[in-house]
Chains A and B, each alone.
Chain A
């Protein structure tokens, strides 16, 4: 095999030497033969004639020898490529259109596939991800207490984790990690560093966290069990990204002290490069801290509370462990751990305990929050992209068909001159493959840029998204495979048919047929394109409509000249007892800024990814097991966010921690909990229970300002003064984390561009550790809540436009080709007196009929497709007449544009010239 190749290569590259040798060899033979005949008595001339006769054509023999030596295959390939490149250069319009179509079609697909691959199919960058198992299959987050309705648990308490770790030897390692670290940033400052304290992500994890994932440190060491012990010296591991970008990879970081939430912590090492934690996130942790340091650092009361679940658990199973019995065992152990709790002692509690179970899921991809959130939309985008690819393929098929028809005469000529069918097909195949190859490469470039763009759309402003946007080998293969198949299918199949035709027939009919317009196949492809484009245009219309409905929802707030400053006084080292004074200072300092009108302080604000809720009961009514969200705010809070009080009063400076406990409820709360229409003001509400339900006296009612998300409309809400506690709460104030405010809302007289700096300065003036966790205008905060919807709407529009563009090109190609083919016929018609208008109408009619057929197919398909995406649309269950009309009009307009150019060209045909050209 190898020697064969070497032989061929020598034949190819040392061509002149080989040729010379061949000449010499044959010349020797001929001379000997002539000598033989001369010796036999023939004249020299007669001998030479005889020898030539015996030998056959010298050129032919040489060609046969070359072929035997295997020169021809490689040589003709080089020849084919040269010829193909010349052909492509000669028809730049065709070449550019095909390349553009391929690049966009393949690029869009590869971009989406890149994203799907890296979001949905990728494992964590850890050792042997396949043996990792996650406990739980729900998307629960953060901090929970009390039984869960369906009994399916994903969040666990520290106690339950430790029990499981002790009692399940099937796990080689079992690690636990903070579920909601994204909602609880830490404040970190390097000792001796010049930089101000930064609010960053820090995740509290068990001591065996890194060991469970089988990771090696980049520098220093990773966390060990001894770090995760109460009273141990406080340690942390820094992420590689943070080390590289914030500290320029300074080796001295390892071993140095950082002030984390005002407490000194030693950074013992750097996590390996590429490790982004246990879940995909736009804000991966910069610090990993041991769980046992959390009570001190984060000042949270729940770390050792048996009834509070806040940990995710991921383990590495030993080889050969069966999942089903393990799941049984773990569920049993979890029930055992829950049993002593007061939450499960009542009758309902016991029933709930019986339902309690844990579902084991593959843990190789870590905590799949992001994956679950994006899965549907990514799959939808994949469908859309494949439709675009289908259109692109139809387009390429059409263009190649048009080109091949145009070159049929040329092919016939070549066949007539002795080229075999195989040779002709090979030439065309080379051209197609060349086009496909170049298109594939261009597509990759588009894919690379596209994937980047998608990431930016999905996570605007994220600094270090942990999703890899570079196309992998799989994707390169995917793109090239697609383009090759397309090229071969449509470049060669028609060529084969053409090559089979008898050259004489083809030559005869090539120039003289009257009106063989575009073939049925070509028209069919155009119809298909029109239909698919319509579906995509309708989709784009629906998602845009959905987005605009979302964005135009009446939020019952006022975002004008409002700024939201997120803060974290807990991380800044404030204890609960210091908060009332702090809030008063904040109010005073911010009011002192010129231009600031209102200073609201609250646990969280409208249209923010946050929600606190609990059960609620109206005193004197039966427990209706209603739940309600609640927000704690200061006196100016309602004004600062623009929520109007519709009955009674809002909060005032008099509602201090020592004043009588009061509440304000929203309209929905009144509607749902005061069904008899009685006046809520003066009634008492609180957590369910005869005593606790009297916790707060309702003093006012506000309108239904939208909290959390537009889709979660009109839910029960009550508001209580920032410093007031639940009177029935038995815990001391030191355990009441609800007193910590999360945001300051500033209303100003006019837009203030320097508000962020002012807020930073003002807070730092109160305490250098009071950093701005996040600063946004109220409008920005609201816009952020529509990021995903906006991305989908934009992408569907983008893909719809792409589809439309491709379909238009396709229609133009077919129309232009028909006109070209029918030039003589049109010339005759015009010579016989056809009007210019009539000719234009004739050409347009073809295009319009094809579009109309496409619409007839596309409309029902679009209507059918809506049901698959209905769940993703906001308050849209059917295709709106306007959306449908818009899509049809757009497509029709595009079709007219595509047809008018060739139609005008047809109308400007000079009959005399057209007929002479025959």
Chain B
């Protein structure tokens, strides 16, 4: 059994998908593998929830889809970042960093208070 991962906070899945696709066009299965690898198997993504998220991003025009041939010579749907998606990724990355820094600060301070 694989160790229990952490449930993904609301809204972060989009950010992860955009970041993954920033590396280049990928099909759905590869994206899920990549996310898993990058997060060192800590984050647990219900594989089913990946696709609605991809379709939503596609509708919002942040990613584009086209059919291509996979590495094992099968027809697969590839996703890639659009210009809007690239911009959105920067915005969300900034926001995320600000959030985590702030949260870390609060947690750190709280730690110190308890230690004092």
Contacts and interface: CB of A to CB of B under 8 A. Distances in A.
A32 B29 contact: yes
A25 B61 contact: no
A21 B29 contact: no
A56 B52 contact: no
B59 A4 contact: yes
B55 interface: yes
Interface string A8-33: 10000000000001001110110011
A28 B77 contact: yes
A7 interface: yes
A917 interface: no
A24 B52 contact: no
B55 A29 contact: no
Nearest to B33: A36
B49 A29 contact: no
B87 interface: no
A28 B59 contact: no
Contacts of A355: none
Contact of A24 (B32, B58, B59, B75): B75
Contacts of B27: 28
Nearest to A11: B59
A64 interface: yes
Contact of A55 (B47, B56, B61, B74): B47
B70 interface: yes
Given A28-B70, A61-B52, A68-B55, A56 B77 contact: no
B51 A61 contact: yes
B93 to A, nearest CB: 23
A60 B29 CA distance: 18
Given A65-B55, A68-B52, A70-B59, A25 B28 contact: yes
A57 B48 contact: yes
Residue from B28, B29, B53, B76 whose CB has the most chain A CB atoms within 10 Å:
B29
Contacts of B75: 24, 28
A29 B48 CA distance: 10
B46 interface: yes
A61 B56 CA distance: 13
Given A28-B27, A29-B28, A69 B59 contact: yes
A28 B74 contact: yes
B52 A33 contact: no
Contacts of B74: 28
A60 B49 CA distance: 10
A55 B48 contact: yes
B20 to A, nearest CB: 15
A26 B59 contact: no
B36 to A, nearest CB: 11
Given A28-B27, A28-B28, A28-B70, A56 B48 contact: yes
B77 A33 contact: no
A731 interface: no
A7 B57 CA distance: 12
Interface of B: 27-29, 32, 46-49, 51-53, 55-56, 58-61, 70, 74-77
- 9 A-B pairs with least C-beta separation: A56-B48, A64-B52, A68-B55, A68-B56, A61-B48, A32-B29, A68-B52, A29-B29, A25-B77
Interface of A: 3-4, 7-8, 21, 24-26, 28-29, 32-33, 54-58, 60-61, 64-65, 67-70
Given A24-B75, A28-B76, A61-B48, 9 more contacts: A3-B61, A4-B59, A25-B77, A26-B51, A29-B51, A55-B48, A64-B49, A65-B55, A68-B56
